[in-house]
């Protein structure tokens, strides 16, 4: 029998060593739980919300620390079975892992992840579009970026697949519905009340379309003398179709019932990225 195998069998037959291994496994797992708890607590704190970059680095650090804890625990356990720590560390280098286990993607994930962090492409909490997926960045790790989409689902994207990134500075797309009101003051007042009701009903009916509740900005008058009622929608990217169809048609038919001369072109919908105001 090989001396290494004999040593391993002796280790397995030793209750003390088995107890040590169990304690190491439980202890490291509890440490991992603590690290993740502290990371989640920091991510949800008000201080981290003001420092988006610190949230990204914190998420990446927590991910790296969890990996290091499990890596260390595995090495210590192997040492209890007679495996040299030096041999373990030498065989577990990044290049060794990539070549030995065929996981070259691991290196790509780590390198791409570090590139994202130091280039400032996006941070935790940003609204982004990555690899065809749109959502809010919830976590950033060594291998995966996790975003939460409009349906509340968490999507894990391998860092190596991050190529083109679309970032929405305000965290939403602004949809503007401009509604011409009837010339008659009494009809205009009734039309405004109907629009308010439709806006609220649309928000209640399609909550997944909106990032924030819509707001009625009031009457806007152009330099040419045109006057209209403006409604602002803060939408998830790519989810403005119900505003262009259901909302617009409902407003048109409601106002046409008040004023038979009301035309379809009097209700327009357009989109723009709202400017971010920075206070100096």
Report pLDDT digits (tens) over 69-82.
767 777 666 666 66
Q: What phi, psi does 134 have (nearest 5°)? A: -115, 135
Q: DSSP for 159-190, please give it.
A: GGG---EEEETTSSEEEEEEEEPPSSHHHHHH
Mean pLDDT score, 30-48: 65
Both tokens of 34, joined, read: 């603590």
Report pLDDT digits (tens) over 42-67.
666 555 555 555 666 666 676 667 76
102: confidence class by pLDDT, cuts 50, 70, 90? very low
Distance between CA 94 and CA 83 in Å, rounded? 19
Q: Is the pLDDT of residue 7 over 90?
A: no
What's the predicted TM-score (pTM) here? 0.60
CA angle in degrees (0–180, nearest 5) for 236-203-169: 25
Q: Is the pLDDT of residue 105 over 60?
A: yes
Both tokens of 67, joined, read: 């990996």
Distance between CA 156 and CA 138 in Å, rounded? 10
CA dihedral 67, 68, 74, 75 (to 10 degrees): 150
Q: Is the pLDDT of residue 68 over 50?
A: yes
Please compute, for residue 197, the number of CA atoms within 13 A of its CA located in the half-sphere on the CB side: 10
Give the distance between the most distant pair of CA atoms in the chain: 101
Task: Give the whole-number percent of the chain exceeding pLDDT 90.
Answer: 27
**For the chain, what is the radius of gyration of the CA atoms?**
29
How much is the pLDDT for 166? 87
Tell me the average pLDDT of the chain.
76
Q: Give 121 or 92, the one with higher predicted confidence.
A: 121
Distance between CA 81 and CA 11 in Å, rounded? 6
Please compute, for residue 64, the number of CA atoms within 13 A of its CA located in the half-sphere on the CB side: 11
How much is the pLDDT for 100? 46
How much is the pLDDT for 148? 92
Report pLDDT digits (tens) over 127-181.
999 888 899 988 877 788 899 988 889 999 988 888 888 888 888 889 999 999 8
Which residue, 124, 122, 100, 126, is CA-closest to 112? Answer: 122
How much is the pLDDT for 83? 61
Report pLDDT digits (tens) over 170-225.
888 899 999 998 888 899 899 999 999 999 999 999 988 999 999 998 888 877 77
Both tokens of 102, joined, read: 């065929």
Q: Is the pLDDT of residue 255 over 90?
A: yes
Mean pLDDT score, 113-132: 80
Q: DSSP for 91-137, please give it.
A: HTSHHHHHHHS--HHHHHHHHHHHHHHHHTS--TT-EEEETTEEEEE
Lowest mean pLDDT segment, chosen from 12-16, 58-62, 82-86: 12-16
Q: What phi, psi does 3 have (nearest 5°)? A: -60, -35
Q: Is the pLDDT of residue 256 over 90?
A: yes
Q: Is the pLDDT of residue 97 over 70?
A: no
């Amino acid at each position: 029998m090989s001396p290494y195998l004999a040593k391993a069998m002796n280790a397995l037959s030793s209750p003390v060593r088995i107890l040590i291994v169990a304690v190491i496994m439980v202890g490291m797992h509890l440490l991992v739980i603590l690290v993740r708890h502290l990371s989640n607590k920091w991510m949800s704190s008000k201080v981290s919300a003001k420092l988006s970059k610190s949230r990204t680095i914190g998420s990446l650090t927590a991910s790296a620390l969890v990996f290091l804890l499990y890596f260390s625990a595995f090495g210590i356990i192997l040492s209890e079975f007679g495996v040299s720590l030096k041999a373990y560390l030498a065989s577990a280098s990044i290049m060794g892992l990539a070549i030995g286990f065929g996981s070259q993607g691991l290196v790509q994930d780590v390198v791409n992840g570090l590139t994202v962090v130091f280039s400032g492409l996006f941070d935790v909490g940003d609204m982004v579009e990555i690899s065809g997926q749109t959502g809010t960045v919830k976590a950033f790790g060594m291998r995966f970026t996790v975003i939460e989409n409009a349906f509340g689902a968490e999507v894990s994207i391998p860092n190596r697949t991050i190529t083109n990134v679309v970032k929405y500075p305000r965290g939403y797309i602004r949809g503007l519905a401009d509604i011409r009101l009837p010339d008659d003051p009494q009809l205009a007042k009734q039309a405004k009340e109907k629009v308010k009701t439709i806006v609220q009903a649309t928000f209640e009916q399609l909550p997944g379309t909106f990032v924030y509740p819509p707001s009625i900005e009031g009457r806007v008058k152009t330099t040419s003398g045109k006057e209209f009622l403006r409604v602002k929608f803060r939408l998830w990217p790519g989810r403005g179709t119900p505003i262009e169809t259901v909302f617009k048609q409902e407003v048109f038919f409601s106002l046409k019932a008040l004023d038979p001369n009301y035309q379809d072109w009097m209700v327009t919908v357009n989109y723009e990225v709202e400017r971010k105001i920075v206070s100096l």
